[in-house]
């Protein structure tokens, strides 16, 4: 049996999302952004974040980006689906976790190439120990240790996304204890 240990509880996540929503509402008061959550992982974070943003002119469109090809292994190459019309827009990319940085770099470059005026990013978790390319997010919910995490959108082969807490996922360390 895998072990799941909560490291960030739902109540803490909600409190932090409220703060992020407030900061984004202030920073974008003049020109509301196009919120661009990346499916599938950002779905829970984005659903909470957009409701914490108090900007009547906010628009939300989704894009699909994936770098996982199973288990805890990243493939290294990022597949990016169709983008909405971003020409002249102030785009705020939303993702579940910033790890190697490849996803964010790929999406940022594609959004800029498609004519966005400005691109920034908001991630629920930042795992700086995993970074392989030079990028930082503009808004970060939690800086997390270099562990494999699940819950609140983060998955292991499609599982555990629905968990309200962010948890450390571990395979059973000692088969003999089974």
Question: How many CB atoms are closer than 10 A to CB 37?
Answer: 26
Q: Which residues contact 129 (CB under 8 A, 6 or more apart)?
A: 145, 146
41 binds Mg ion (CB under 5 A): yes
User: Which spans in 33-101 are helix H?
Assistant: 43-52
Q: For residue 120, give the nearest of 27, 18, 42 by alpha carbon.
A: 27
97 binds, among ligand IMP, Mg ion, none (CB under 5 to 8 A by kind): ligand IMP
**Separation between Cα atoms, residue 101 and residue 122, nearest integer Å:** 13
48 binds ligand IMP (CB under 6 A): no
Q: Residues with catalytic annotation?
A: 99
160 binds ligand IMP (CB under 6 A): no
Instruction: For the CB of residue 148, give the shortest distance to Mg ion in the complex, in Å.
Output: 13
Residues 79-118, mask of contacts with ligand IMP (x by CB under 6 A): ----------------xxxxxxxxx---------------
Q: Is the dihedral of CA 80, 102, 115, 44 positive or negative?
A: positive
Instruction: For the CB of residue 15, give the shortest distance to ligand IMP in the complex, in Å.
Output: 22
* Residue 74: its H or E element: strand 74-80
Q: Which stretch binds Mg ion (CB under 5 A): 37-45, 50-58, 69-77, 156-164?
A: 37-45
Secondary structure class of 120 (helix, strand, coil): strand
Instruction: For the CB of residue 12, give the shortest distance to ligand IMP in the complex, in Å.
Output: 18
Alpha carbons within 13 angstroms on the beta-carbon side of residue 81 total 12
Instruction: For the CB of residue 35, give the shortest distance to ligand IMP in the complex, in Å.
Output: 16
41 or 101: CB nearest Mg ion: 41
Which residues of the chain form contacts with ligand IMP (CB under 6 A)? Answer: 41, 67-68, 74, 95-103, 148-150, 154-155
């Amino acid at each position: 049996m895998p072990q799941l240990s909560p490291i960030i509880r739902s109540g803490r996540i909600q409190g932090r999302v409220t703060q992020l929503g407030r900061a984004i509402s202030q920073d974008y008061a003049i020109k509301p952004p196009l919120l661009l959550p990346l499916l599938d992982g950002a779905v829970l974070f984005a659903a909470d974040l957009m409701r914490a943003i108090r900007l009547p002119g906010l628009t939300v469109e989704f894009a699909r980006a994936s770098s996982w090809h199973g288990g805890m292994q990243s493939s290294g190459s990022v597949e990016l689906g169709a983008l909405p019309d971003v020409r002249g827009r102030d785009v705020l990319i939303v993702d579940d976790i910033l790890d190697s940085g490849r996803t964010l770099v790929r999406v940022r470059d594609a959004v800029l190439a498609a004519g966005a005026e400005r691109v920034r990013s908001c991630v629920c978790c930042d795992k700086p120990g995993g970074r392989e390319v030079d990028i930082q997010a503009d808004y970060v919910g939690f800086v997390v240790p270099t562990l494999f995490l699940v819950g609140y959108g983060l998955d292991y082969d499609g599982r555990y996304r629905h968990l309200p807490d962010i948890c450390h996922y571990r395979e059973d360390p000692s088969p003999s204890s089974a």
